[in-house]
């Protein structure tokens, strides 16, 4: 049994007031699904097995290049962050693992592991950082890291990634996620091809250090922090990387990293088809890499992504993409946003499970576009909250995580321990 950060009885108390209603809603939903030939308990079982990782940096308040406005009780270090992650997992019962960012989360690996064990958490993919300069770093990443024109800078970036693998090995991680800010701000600043060749060469060095049972995820992004070109600009380049590197290399899809209007669910399908979908950084966006809460802007798009994932899950023997939230919480309590966002991911998964795939297949074969799309809509429109809440309840979590969290006064309590942080300008000045 792991340690509970806050009193489990407060969850139980909150649940008590909601349980009867939940059971009633679960029952009527079950009745409706039953009519459609779907056994609600089987859905529930699948949902109960689904998890999504929390990024350590997600529990702190984010910022923009213009400013950062901290909240109260901000975590001071990775151990505070792990506690916040444990709270999220305790309430949602859906987020048992944490993804670390090095060097931000650098600490004694044994202490990391012990703390995580004690809190009932594990470690998801490791994240390297070569998009900002760490203090005392020999070579600056101002003009690039893994693709820098200078060999020593590339070497430093390679070694940093290898260090991330080493730390990961010590704490039980099984994957490395590599996102770089390399690119250019001016036409001509970088030679596209030579820059990419340098990147590939450097990544091959990193890949060599990857244990056999690890995966390496590369992440594409259209722009920011480079504003004319980025080295890994889209899934096409990302796919090429994964092919060049080898069988342990996969593409990571961040929902906010694409050009306007792009059909992301189709990219997901293509990567699945060619065996290179590694996983996701979930978030939502309206304009660019807005890093808003998952499903906050376009919940149907999220559902359509999961429609592809469930289809693959049913058809492929060994399909297990990584799921991670990656958001910037600028105006909400990060713990609340992460709990709601985890629920949104599970909601999209649950809805996608409800799609009548046999009927859909028939409509597709017959080019009955209207009924095909209504098949998806019918599943999407079904309010699956009772399933999500029942899963949480049965696993010991909260029927209403935000309600229970607010009732607990957790944020106020940690604010007494964790000193207030000053806000200020962002990167621009």
- Which of 12, 80, 298, 313 is close enough to bind a second copy by CB under 8 A? 298
* Residues forming beta bridges with residue 171, ordered by sequence position: none
Cβ atoms within 10 Å, residue 27: 12
Q: Which helix (H) or strand (E) holds 240?
A: helix 235-245
- Which of 9, 317, 318, 365 is close enough to bind a second copy by CB under 8 A? 365
Cα angle 29-35-40, degrees, rounded to a multiple of 5: 45
Residue span binding a second copy (CB under 8 A) among the ranges 167-175, 210-218, 288-296, 317-325: 288-296
Select 91 or 209, whichever has its Cβ closest to a second copy. 91
Chain mean position to CA 406: 24
Binding to a second copy, residues 193-212 (CB under 8 A): 193-194, 196-197
Select 79 or 363, whichever has its Cβ closest to a second copy. 363
Cβ atoms within 10 Å, residue 147: 28
272 binds a second copy (CB under 8 A): yes
381 binds a second copy (CB under 8 A): yes
Q: How far is the CB of 159 from a second copy (least distance, A)?
A: 19
Select 44 or 81, whichever has its Cβ closest to a second copy. 81
Binding to a second copy, residues 28-87 (CB under 8 A): 28, 31-32, 35, 57, 60, 62-69
- Which of 2, 23, 111, 142 is close enough to bind a second copy by CB under 8 A? 142
- Which of 147, 173, 285, 408 is close enough to bind a second copy by CB under 8 A? 285
187 binds a second copy (CB under 8 A): yes
Selection from 251, 241, 219 nearest residue 129 by Cα: 219
Binding to a second copy, residues 302-321 (CB under 8 A): 304, 307-308, 311
Residue 323 sits at φ, ψ, to 5 deg, of: -115, 125
Q: How far is the CB of 310 from a second copy (least distance, A)?
A: 13
Q: How far is the CB of 404 from a second copy (least distance, A)?
A: 14
- Which of 22, 98, 125, 190 is close enough to bind a second copy by CB under 8 A? 190
User: In the chain, helix, strand, coil percent, each to 5?
Assistant: 50, 10, 40
Select 49 or 422, whichever has its Cβ closest to a second copy. 422
Residue span binding a second copy (CB under 8 A) among the ranges 38-46, 204-212, 292-300, 409-417: 292-300
**355, burial (CB in 10 Å: exposed 0-12, middle 13-18, buried 19+):** buried
DSSP state of 260: T
Q: Where are the alpha helices (DSSP H) in 120-191?
A: 151-171
Collapsing DSSP to helix, strand or coil, 125 comes out as: coil
Q: In whole angstroms, how far apart are CA 273 and each of 124, 220, 267, 414?
A: 25, 18, 10, 46
Residue span binding a second copy (CB under 8 A) among the ranges 39-47, 91-99, 170-178, 185-193: 185-193
Selection from 113, 116, 124, 138 nearest residue 51 by Cα: 124
Residue span binding a second copy (CB under 8 A) among the ranges 113-121, 165-173, 269-277, 410-418: 269-277
Select 141 or 280, whichever has its Cβ closest to a second copy. 141
Radius of gyration of the chain (CA): 22
Per-residue string for binding with a second copy, 93-132, x by CB under 8 A?
Answer: -----------x--------------------------xx
385 binds a second copy (CB under 8 A): yes
d(CA 339, CA 147): 37
Exposure b/e, 213-224, CB count within 10 A at least 16 = b: ebbbbbbbbbbe
- Which of 162, 240, 407, 415 is close enough to bind a second copy by CB under 8 A? 240
Whether 58 and 340 have beta carbons less than 8 Å apart is answered as no
407 binds a second copy (CB under 8 A): no
Whether 44 and 387 have beta carbons less than 8 Å apart is answered as yes
* Residues forming beta bridges with residue 251, ordered by sequence position: 218, 277
Q: How far is the CB of 350 from a second copy (least distance, A)?
A: 12
156 binds a second copy (CB under 8 A): no
């Amino acid at each position: 049994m792991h340690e509970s950060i806050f009193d489990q009885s407060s969850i139980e108390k909150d649940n008590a007031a909601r349980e009867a209603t939940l059971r009633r809603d679960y029952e009527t939903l079950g009745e409706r699904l039953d009519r459609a030939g779907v056994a609600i308990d089987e859905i529930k079982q699948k949902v109960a097995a689904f998890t999504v990782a929390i990024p350590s940096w997600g529990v702190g308040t984010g910022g923009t290049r213009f400013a950062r406005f901290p909240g109260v009780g901000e975590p001071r270090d990775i151990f505070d962050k792990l506690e916040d992650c444990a709270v999220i997992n305790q309430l949602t019962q859906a987020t048992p693992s944490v993804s670390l960012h090095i060097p931000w989360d650098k600490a004694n690996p044994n202490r990391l592991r012990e703390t995580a064990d004690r809190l009932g958490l594990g470690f998801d993919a490791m994240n390297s950082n070569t998009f900002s300069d760490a203090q005392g770093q020999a070579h600056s990443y101002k003009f690039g890291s893994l693709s820098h024109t200078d060999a020593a800078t590339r070497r430093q970036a390679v070694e940093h990634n290898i260090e991330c693998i080493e730390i990961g090995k010590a704490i039980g991680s099984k994957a490395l996620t590599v996102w770089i800010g390399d690119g250019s701000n001016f036409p001509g600043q970088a030679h596209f091809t030579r820059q990419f060749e340098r990147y590939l060469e450097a990544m091959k060095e990193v890949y060599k250090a990857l244990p056999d049972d690890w995966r390496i995820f590369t992440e594409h992004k259209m722009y920011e922090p480079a504003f004319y070109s980025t080295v890994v600009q889209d899934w096409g380049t990302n796919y090429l990387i994964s092919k060049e590197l080898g069988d342990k290399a996969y593409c990571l899809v961040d929902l906010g990293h694409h050009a306007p209007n792009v059909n992301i669910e189709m990219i997901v399908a293509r990567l699945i088809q060619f065996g290179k979908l590694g996983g996701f950084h979930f978030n939502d966006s309206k304009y660019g890499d807005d890093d808003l809460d998952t499903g906050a802007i376009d919940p149907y798009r999220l559902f359509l992504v999961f429609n592809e994932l469930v289809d693959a899950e049913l058809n492929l023997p060994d399909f297990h993409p990584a799921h991670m939230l990656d958001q910037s919480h600028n105006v909400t309590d990060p713990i609340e946003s992460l709990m709601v966002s985890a629920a949104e991911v599970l909601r999209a998964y649950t809805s996608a499970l409800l799609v009548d795939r046999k009927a859909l297949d028939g409509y597709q074969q017959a080019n009955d576009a209207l009924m095909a799309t209504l098949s998806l809509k019918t599943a999407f429109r079904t309010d699956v909250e009772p399933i999500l809440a029942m899963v949480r309840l049965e696993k010991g979590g909260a029927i209403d995580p935000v309600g229970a969290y607010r009732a607990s006064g957790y944020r106020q309590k940690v604010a007494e321990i964790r000193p207030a942080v000053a806000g200020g300008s962002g990167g621009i000045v």
